[in-house]
């Protein structure tokens, strides 16, 4: 029987978590126009395959369900991307870049600030004020405020949604935070003439590319999930592309008494 308690060490501190209590941050990929969407992507489409007398639908009399799915990873639902998103390198695919799937993460809630041009931007100083500069996580999860269930079905195309200040991406990159997850369509402005300043800063592209770093967009963090430390399981498909639909799952971490453990620090 699976134990309800497991332990992990990070930064000379031990934590315990319950592997039977996952917190799924992904938005489902369902067919139709009522799912979250951005960058003018077509809605997810699911087609029933027919071959001769075979119909790939049990509901239509077939022996099995056999369907084809059309989707755009960057525009439909929760997705994780690597530096291949902004690089011509054919080897810059997510399956090559993401080799680990478990990370120590910190969840932070932050309210974007309105700029003079009307844009809403997540400012570096508001996020960094909530981080311990001496003990930064491997992954940072951002929940923007106000939070709302409408994020599950938002149609972001043409709305100029909030994005992050490039200085935040730069700071995270220079201090070794490898994975950034947020409940927005992009770390950059919807239309910025291809500047992609936050993408470039986070991946340190092209001067010193962080090939293992990833950005996960369009997550959803329910209100019941508290800010704090978590174990992140970043699940993706093995598509040979720069991005993949993904399923980030958190497990709440609780500090353990130092006297009860011996430390073997996890890579950071």
- Flag whether 133 is in a domain: yes
| C-alpha separations of 244 from 2, 28, 41, 127, 154 in Å | 30, 13, 15, 27, 20
For the cut 90, the answer to whether the pLDDT of residue 258 exceeds it is no
Other Cβ atoms closer than 10 A to 16: 17
Record the pTM.
0.94
For the cut 80, the answer to whether the pLDDT of residue 174 exceeds it is yes
Q: Give the per-residue pLDDT at 262.
A: 41
- Flag whether 245 is in a domain: yes
What one-character DSSP code corresponds to residue 151?
G
Mean pLDDT score across all residues of the chain:
95
Count of domains for the chain: 1
- Flag whether 45 is in a domain: no
Distance CA 164, CA 188 (A): 6
Average pLDDT over residues 122-126: 98
- Flag whether 267 is in a domain: no
Element (DSSP H or E) covering residue 3 = none
For the cut 90, the answer to whether the pLDDT of residue 208 exceeds it is yes
CATH of the domain at 245: 3.50.30.50
Distance CA 231, CA 6 (A): 11
Nearest of 37, 156, 178, 165 to residue 101 by alpha carbon: 178
What one-character DSSP code corresponds to residue 128?
H
- Flag whether 158 is in a domain: yes
Looking at per-residue pLDDT, the higher value among 64 and 258 belongs to 64
- Flag whether 69 is in a domain: no
Residue 161, Cα to own-chain centre: how many angstroms? 17
- Flag whether 65 is in a domain: no
Domain range for 190 is 6-27+76-260
- Flag whether 67 is in a domain: no
Average pLDDT over residues 193-208: 98
Q: What is the 3-state secondary structure (H, E, C) of 206-253?
A: CCCCCCCCEEEECCCCCCCCCCEEEEEEEEECCCCCCEEEEEEEEEEC
Q: Residues 6 or more apart from 259 whose CB is under 8 A from it?
A: none
For the cut 70, the answer to whether the pLDDT of residue 2 exceeds it is no
- Residue count of the chain, please give it: 268
Distance CA 268, CA 259 (A): 23
């Amino acid at each position: 029987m699976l134990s309800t308690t497991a332990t992990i060490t990070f930064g000379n501190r031990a934590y315990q978590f319950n592997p039977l209590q996952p917190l799924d941050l992904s938005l489902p990929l369902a067919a139709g126009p009522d799912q979250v969407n951005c960058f003018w992507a077509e809605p997810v489409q699911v087609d029933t395959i027919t071959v001769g007398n075979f119909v790939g639908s049990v509901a239509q009399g077939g022996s099995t369900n056999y369907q084809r799915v059309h989707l755009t990873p960057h525009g439909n639902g929760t997705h994780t991307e690597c530096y291949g998103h902004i690089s011509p390198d054919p080897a810059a695919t997510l399956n090559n870049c993401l080799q680990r799937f478990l990370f120590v993460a910190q969840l932070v809630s932050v309210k974007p600030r309105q700029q003079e041009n009307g844009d809403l931007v997540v400012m570096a100083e508001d996020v960094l004020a909530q981080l311990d500069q001496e003990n930064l996580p491997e992954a940072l999860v951002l929940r923007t405020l106000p939070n709302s269930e409408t994020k599950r079905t938002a149609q972001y195309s043409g709305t100029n949604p909030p994005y992050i200040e490039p200085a935040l991406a730069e700071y995270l990159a220079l201090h070794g935070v490898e994975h950034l997850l947020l409940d927005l369509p992009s770390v950059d402005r919807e239309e910025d003439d291809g500047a992609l300043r936050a993408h470039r800063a986070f991946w340190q592209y092209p001067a010193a590319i962080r090939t293992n770093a990833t950005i996960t967009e369009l997550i959803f963090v329910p209100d019941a999930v508290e800010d704090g430390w978590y174990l992140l399981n970043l699940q993706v498909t093995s598509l040979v592309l720069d991005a993949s639909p993904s399923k980030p799952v958190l497990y709440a971490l609780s500090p353990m008494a130092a006297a009860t453990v011996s430390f073997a620090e996890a890579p950071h």
